[in-house]
Structure 1
Amino acid sequence: MRELNNEAQPDNLAYYVEGNADAATCLKLKLNVNSGNDAPGSEIVLLIALQKLIERATGYYAMHLQLEKSREELAGIDFGSGVLKWRYDPHLREGYSLVASIVRGSSSD
């Protein structure tokens, strides 16, 4: 987990791998935004990390993914070896989580 700012409760970015001893089946980046103050900057950090993860995990050149595109426009991109999915989870009081997942397989699986 990496803290992204100097707030009392900082935004943070975490990386998770799901699978078994033979292969990863799902790679996740989870951004926790704890206050709205730095949300745009934290979301850019997530998207830059996602571009790098896509390139390393799938070989798909992701730098052309535009940071200003909405999550809905980026969801469902099929890389041949994986598909991109998003989940938005509001926090109970303030803030939210964004989870970007690269799921092994294609959108037709």
Structure 2
Amino acid sequence: MKKNCWVYILRNETGEITIGFSVDMDEKFTEISMRKEKLYYLRPFEEPFDGLAHKHLLDSLSQDTINLLVRRNRERTEIYKEVFRKTQLLHLPQNNQKNI
């Protein structure tokens, strides 16, 4: 089975964004959930080259264009986030699941 790589956009409390790339989004999702940043955009790619090319494109776009892209993909991003949340719950010991 081929593993996806991911391009993501985080926003911190002051509104600054970070555009990132990950080949292990399970680990990255856990890391993000412990920080004060919010995941605003998430897109999978089967080929790392395509993911890195997309990240490079995002790095060159204006803030307004990125905001438009985030709005257009909000529903899909929320679906991916929910899948990661459920995956994390499956990997927690039973007694820790009550805390989430």
TM-score (norm 2): 0.36
Determine which structure has greater relative contact order: mean sequence separation of CA pairs < 8 Å that are 6+ residues apart, divided by chain length.
Answer: 2
Structure with more helix by fraction: 2
Greater strand share, structure number:
1
State the TM-score, normalized to the length of structure 1.
0.33
